[in-house]
Structure formats: C-alpha cells, structure tokens
C-alpha cells in the first residue's frame, strides 16, 4: 500500500498543475516535450510555466516543423511555403514590461539579438541566448511591488507563408523569472565588464490585448502536431530547378507550377500527369 503513495502524490500534483493551467485558460499542444505553435516553429525549450534564471534566457525552436519545411538556404525565394522572419519579445501584463529579445535588428550593443532565422544557418533548431537585462537581477519571487521580476510571456511572432498564403501569428509562452539572476554575468556573455544590458535599452511600449488581437492573428490554428494532415508545398533552391521531388526534371514544368518536394497536388503539365497516371495503372495491375 505504502508503495502507492508516491504515485498518488504524482497524480495529485498532475491534477494541481492541470488546474493551474485551467485557471489561466490557455491550452498548449505538447507532444514528447515539443510545443506546437500556429506556424512552422516548434518550441523544444523551455516548457510552459518553467521558473527561469541564470546568465541568459535560452529558447530553442525548431524552424522546420520537425523537417517538413526545408531550411531557408534550400528554398527558392518564391517558394509557396517559407518563413519570412521570426521575432521575439519578453513581456508581462503583471510587471507592465515589454522587452525586445529579437526584432530583426541587432540593437542596444547586441543586447537585442539579430535575425533569428539567420543564426546557426545550417541548423534546424535555433538557440536563442538572450542576456537577462539589469532590472531582472534577483533571486526568488519578487518582493518589491515595483519589481520587474515575476511572470512573463515569451512572445514568438512568426511571419511566414504556408501554401501561398501569408500569415503573421503570435504565440505566447508563459514562464516565470524567479530563479537567480546575478548582478554580473560571466563576462563572455554580458557587456565587456560583465555587467548586464539596461532594461531601458530594450524596452517597448506595452500594448493592450485588443490592440494586438491574438485571436485574429492566429486563425490558422496550431499546426503540425501529430495527426495534423497539413501538406506543405515548397519550391527548393537546389540543383534540380523543378525541385518537385516527384521524379526526373520535367522540362515543361516551371516555377509557377508550385510543385513541392512534399509531393503535393498542384497544377501539373499534362504530360507529367499522364506519366503519373501511367505509373498508378501499372501498380494496380501488378
């Protein structure tokens, strides 16, 4: 009997954490520790609600929807599916702060990061390492009422095109800035003297929810979770100019045919269509 206690305790904790999620009325689609978003990005870390601290805020995102979208270097600029850019902010309606993690322009002495899609160019996972700015220094829960420490969202904004349609989506991942953040960093990550960038150099106006309209932005819904049948049409920038992955190059195909390496349905030159029908018939008669 005694051996069952740890399990029921675990169950109780699971229920409590479910309740606390329910209270905030936000649902996350998580599978094997990966958090799916309304876009190609999949968050590998951190998990929602994690207490964070240390030298930097670290965020790991897969920008290929687990391999379903090639990296930018392998895509034609006119590809029907691609990521234009990804920006990130750290904001809180509790502390009334809104900091730039990356707005696409490295600013404030490198305190704000450069374009996320351009870092680790050959890597499908982008590791965002953002040095905590000075007003977040501390240890534990905030005590002073005006403390900048507390609960935040990592706001991940994706500008992307999916099958010819452009989207700008907003995905807010809650975390709490409650672990220790020391005054000085190890000097290799902060300013040269090891001090932290100022919060002022990273601050943006905080907009009200109705000025942002997340619901309207995210009508595309969470994408690419297990069981999601969304097909991704792409045009590759590879050596095969047709890049459709359906077979040998077809001289009659052109960029406008929009054939993707995922082998999606698309307008096809009739000769190629006839070839495919031929293959299908041959298979059926086996």
Ligand X SMILES: *[C@@H]1O[C@H](CO)[C@@H](O)[C@H](O)[C@H]1NC(C)=O
273 interacts with ligand X by CB under 6 A: no
Minimum separation from the CB atom of position 79 to ligand X (A): 13
Any bridge partners for residue 58, and if so which?
A: 129
Q: Which of 107, 220, 222, 266 binds ligand X (CB under 6 A)?
A: 107
Minimum separation from the CB atom of position 28 to ligand X (A): 9
Any bridge partners for residue 35, and if so which?
A: 30, 43
Q: Which of 7, 19, 23, 27 binds ligand X (CB under 6 A)?
A: 27
Q: Which stretch binds ligand X (CB under 6 A): 56-64, 84-92, 229-237, 271-279?
A: 84-92
Task: Collapse the DSSP code of 258 into the 3-class scheme (helix H, G, I; strand E, B; otherwise coil) and give the result.
Answer: coil
Handedness of CA 246, 252, 254, 256 (dihedral sign): negative
Extract the tokens encoding 199: 């919060």
Whether the Cβ atoms of residue 206 and residue 91 lie closer than 8 Å to each other: yes
Extract the tokens encoding 183: 């005054």
Rounded Cα distance between 255 and 237, Å, is 11
100 interacts with ligand X by CB under 6 A: yes
212 interacts with ligand X by CB under 6 A: yes
Q: Are strands 165-177 and 150-162 parallel, antiparallel or unpaired?
A: antiparallel
Q: Which stretch binds ligand X (CB under 6 A): 34-42, 51-59, 80-88, 238-246?
A: 80-88
Extract the tokens encoding 161: 């095109």
User: Interface residues with ligand X (CB under 6 A)?
Assistant: 25-27, 84-85, 87, 89, 91-94, 98, 100, 103-105, 107-108, 112, 151-153, 159, 172, 174, 183-184, 193-195, 202, 204, 206-207, 210, 212-214, 216
């Amino acid at each position: 009997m005694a051996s069952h206690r740890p399990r029921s305790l675990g169950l109780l904790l699971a229920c409590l954490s479910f309740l606390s999620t329910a209270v905030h009325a936000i649902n996350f689609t998580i599978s094997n520790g990966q958090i799916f978003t309304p876009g190609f990005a999949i968050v590998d870390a951190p998990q929602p609600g994690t207490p964070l601290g240390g030298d930097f805020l670290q965020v790991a995102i897969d920008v290929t929807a687990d391999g379903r979208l090639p990296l930018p270097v392998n895509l034609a600029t006119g590809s029907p599916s691609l990521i234009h850019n990804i920006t990130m902010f750290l904001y809180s309606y509790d502390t009334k702060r809104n900091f730039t993690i990356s707005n696409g322009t490295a600013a404030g002495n490198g305190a704000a990061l450069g374009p996320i899609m351009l870092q680790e160019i050959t890597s499908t996972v982008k590791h965002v390492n953002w040095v905590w700015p000075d007003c977040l220094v501390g240890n534990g829960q905030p005590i002073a009422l005006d403390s900048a420490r507390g609960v935040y969202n990592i706001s991940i904004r994706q500008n992307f095109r999916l099958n010819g349609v452009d989207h700008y989506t907003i995905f807010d991942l809650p975390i709490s800035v409650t672990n220790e953040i020391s005054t000085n960093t190890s000097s290799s990550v902060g300013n040269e003297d090891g001090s932290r960038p100022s919060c002022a150099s990273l601050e943006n106006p905080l907009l009200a929810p109705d000025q942002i309209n997340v619901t309207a932005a995210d009508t595309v819904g969470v994408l690419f979770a297990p069981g999601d049948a969304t097909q991704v049409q792409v045009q590759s920038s590879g050596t095969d100019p047709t890049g459709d992955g359906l077979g040998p190059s077809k001289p009659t195909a052109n960029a406008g045919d929009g054939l993707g390496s995922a082998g999606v349905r698309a307008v096809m030159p009739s000769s190629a269509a006839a070839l495919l029908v031929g293959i299908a018939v041959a298979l059926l008669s086996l």
